[in-house]
Chain A
């Protein structure tokens, strides 16, 4: 089974984030860039399926990001991906959901795969809209939030989470999946993996290779960030040490009374 996993490279989720007041874009310098945490789960799913497929299994990671972040992909290779493809082009800067999905889909069309695994959500833009848009552009069945995946007779048997519970779904290949975090914790890169990753290839492509019909980047985007501000600060409230259960309960009860919540 040939698998492609898409990963976005994002500023460290635990670092404080800033938007450049001039360009109105996320400041991506001065903070460490990492694999979008959600995409590590997608990669874990890809690597698990690859292992189950034995000698037939292969995982390629794909990302659209500035060339300067290329080495960040080495971590995915260290975790076990076979190779990586980076779509990098200054003209992609400022791409919104529409432009991102359009460009990424065009680049993915150049790759040969049976299964495309996409993360469910990005830590920085958090739209969760890219997977569905990719499925449309590529004409693939789209199964989101998978927590269990089994390959059966050239098709996939998937358990997926829903707002209300879960579903069991069957889909033919090729298909697009997104993974739920309950699929399983991403593995760590072993020392051997880290050493081996140095020899693996990260191929780069540029927009010129894709012959797109429509503009991308800021020029091709259909939304525009007008302004932003921190929300009204939420003042630090009171902290009260409870002498015992009854005292703690009374403190909360009186507070709720005061706020007219009981």
Chain B
């Protein structure tokens, strides 16, 4: 592990914020390891995506615009990232800990015979060259320090919003990746975006999340969206709300949904089950609105207001709006 290679995840031709966080961190790690900082940019509009990384101090950007990347499930991505890593040489590979990032990481681990540390919030290179990763485990009940043992390659999946974005002038060499001589089986027939154009949940500085207490889909639109808007944030949900079909699954926060670490988390009508808690407990400030004074969410909220969300939320939205002028 000498160089650092970032899988630059994108969504509909837009580089995701987590990618900027990873390339910012990659520079620091590469300097500690004495190697190059690289990124792999894949899919339609690849050249443009590479240009979006211009303001970051990378040494090499590997690119392909191969349409297969968007036409087949995962296989082309894994092939291209593997190809880039083989071109770069022995590498520490940084991958966003998102649904697709997790898949890519697992597959690369088998291919490259590389160790993998998941859901990491801090990476350290020790003086002896060991790479040590800090990650919350067992639903955040413990913070672990896990080392990648010395090997050719190592893989780390990184929690979105764990690292700061620090742009600085870059002068990267852009290298086109050759098309692998392979054919793929798992074809994507339809790719549907839900809630497109809205602020991605993992990247939002404020999250206003709703649960079963909201009773249906309408309050998400009528109550939570306006509050999220005045706070400059995004709307999220508990599993109960997603399971009921009130919001799309990609808004679910928790163990089996997204992990978020906004500056402010507002939980509305959410009881605070352990599986929900693990997805939001690292938020800066937590405010809960719940009818039930004994709801578990009170145990880890900075402020619990006991009362009816249907009455409180509209008033709160008005207060903030007025204060903003």
- Interface residues in chain A, defined as those with a beta carbon under 8 Å from any beta carbon in chain B: 13-14, 16-17, 19, 26, 38, 96-98, 101-102, 120-121, 123-137, 141-145, 147, 160-172, 175, 180-182, 221-231, 234, 236-242, 244-253, 255-256, 259, 261-262
Do residues B11 and A142 form an inter-chain contact, with CB atoms below 8 A? no
Do residues B307 and A242 form an inter-chain contact, with CB atoms below 8 A? yes
Do residues A239 and B304 form an inter-chain contact, with CB atoms below 8 A? yes
Q: Beyond A142-B103, A228-B145, is A251–B303 a contact (Cβ under 8 Å)?
A: yes
Asked if B34 CB lies within 8 Å of chain A CBs, one says no
- By a CB distance below 8 angstroms, the chain A residues around B243 are 181-182
Do residues A166 and B107 form an inter-chain contact, with CB atoms below 8 A? no
Interface string of B103-133 (1 = CB under 8 A from A): 1111101110111111100000000000010
Interface string of B49-77 (1 = CB under 8 A from A): 00000000000000000000000011100
Do residues A129 and B106 form an inter-chain contact, with CB atoms below 8 A? yes
Do residues B143 and A223 form an inter-chain contact, with CB atoms below 8 A? no
- By a CB distance below 8 angstroms, the chain B residues around A137 are 110
State the majority secondary structure of interface residues on A.
mixed
The distance from the CB of B313 to the nearest CB of chain A, in whole angstroms, is: 8
**Chain B: CB-nearest residue to A173:** B185
Do residues B73 and A143 form an inter-chain contact, with CB atoms below 8 A? yes
- Interface residues in chain B, defined as those with a beta carbon under 8 Å from any beta carbon in chain A: 11-12, 73-75, 98-100, 102-107, 109-111, 113-119, 132, 136-149, 151, 154, 157, 185-196, 200, 206, 231, 239, 242-243, 248-250, 255-256, 263-264, 274-275, 281, 285-287, 289, 293, 298-308, 310-316, 318-320, 323-324
**Chain A: CB-nearest residue to B142:** A228
A-B contact number at CB 8 A:
292
Query: CA–CA, A166 to B144, complex, Å?
Result: 33
Q: Select which of A169, A222, A227, A247 is within 8 A of B148 by beta carbon.
A: A222
**Chain A: CB-nearest residue to B119:** A126
**Chain B: CB-nearest residue to A243:** B307
Do residues A164 and B116 form an inter-chain contact, with CB atoms below 8 A? no
Q: Select which of B138, B145, B293, B302 is within 8 A of A124 by beta carbon.
A: B138
Do residues A241 and B306 form an inter-chain contact, with CB atoms below 8 A? yes
**Chain B: CB-nearest residue to A124:** B138
- By a CB distance below 8 angstroms, the chain A residues around B299 are 236
**Chain A: CB-nearest residue to B315:** A249
Q: Select which of B116, B249, B314, B320 is within 8 A of A245 by beta carbon.
A: B314
Q: Beyond A98-B113, A129-B106, A142-B107, is A241–B132 a contact (Cβ under 8 Å)?
A: no
Q: Beyond A144-B99, A248-B311, A255-B303, is A96–B104 a contact (Cβ under 8 Å)?
A: no
| B102, B110, B195, B301, most chain A CB atoms within 10 A | B110
Query: CA–CA, A134 to B145, complex, Å?
Result: 26
Do residues A19 and B142 form an inter-chain contact, with CB atoms below 8 A? yes
- By a CB distance below 8 angstroms, the chain B residues around A102 are 110
Query: CA–CA, A144 to B12, complex, Å?
Result: 20
Q: List 9 A-B contacts (CB under 8 A).
A: A17-B138, A98-B113, A131-B106, A132-B105, A142-B75, A163-B99, A164-B193, A240-B303, A245-B307
The distance from the CB of B95 to the nearest CB of chain A, in whole angstroms, is: 10
Q: Select which of B116, B192, B194 is within 8 A of A223 by beta carbon.
A: B116
Q: Beyond A131-B103, A163-B100, is A231–B116 a contact (Cβ under 8 Å)?
A: no
Query: CA–CA, A53 to B147, complex, Å?
Result: 46
Do residues B115 and A98 form an inter-chain contact, with CB atoms below 8 A? yes
Do residues B107 and A234 form an inter-chain contact, with CB atoms below 8 A? no
Do residues B305 and A162 form an inter-chain contact, with CB atoms below 8 A? no
Do residues A234 and B106 form an inter-chain contact, with CB atoms below 8 A? no
17 additional contacts (CB under 8 A) given A222-B116, A238-B303, A248-B315: A17-B142, A38-B256, A97-B116, A120-B256, A127-B119, A130-B106, A133-B110, A141-B75, A142-B103, A163-B100, A170-B187, A175-B186, A231-B136, A231-B143, A237-B301, A249-B319, A255-B302
- By a CB distance below 8 angstroms, the chain B residues around A135 are 107, 110
The distance from the CB of A176 to the nearest CB of chain B, in whole angstroms, is: 10
Query: CA–CA, A49 to B316, complex, Å?
Result: 49
- By a CB distance below 8 angstroms, the chain A residues around B304 are 237-240
| B113, B146, B303, most chain A CB atoms within 10 A | B303
| A129, A145, A147, A242, most chain B CB atoms within 10 A | A129
The distance from the CB of B10 to the nearest CB of chain A, in whole angstroms, is: 11
Do residues A255 and B287 form an inter-chain contact, with CB atoms below 8 A? yes
Query: CA–CA, A38 to B255, complex, Å?
Result: 10
Do residues A239 and B118 form an inter-chain contact, with CB atoms below 8 A? no
Do residues A239 and B298 form an inter-chain contact, with CB atoms below 8 A? yes
The distance from the CB of B278 to the nearest CB of chain A, in whole angstroms, is: 9
**Chain A: CB-nearest residue to B323:** A262
**Chain A: CB-nearest residue to B100:** A163
| B113, B137, B154, B264, most chain A CB atoms within 10 A | B137
**Chain A: CB-nearest residue to B304:** A239
The distance from the CB of A238 to the nearest CB of chain B, in whole angstroms, is: 5
Query: CA–CA, A7 to B119, complex, Å?
Result: 22
Query: CA–CA, A226 to B318, complex, Å?
Result: 50
Do residues A248 and B312 form an inter-chain contact, with CB atoms below 8 A? yes
Query: CA–CA, A129 to B315, complex, Å?
Result: 45
Do residues B312 and A165 form an inter-chain contact, with CB atoms below 8 A? no
Do residues A167 and B145 form an inter-chain contact, with CB atoms below 8 A? no
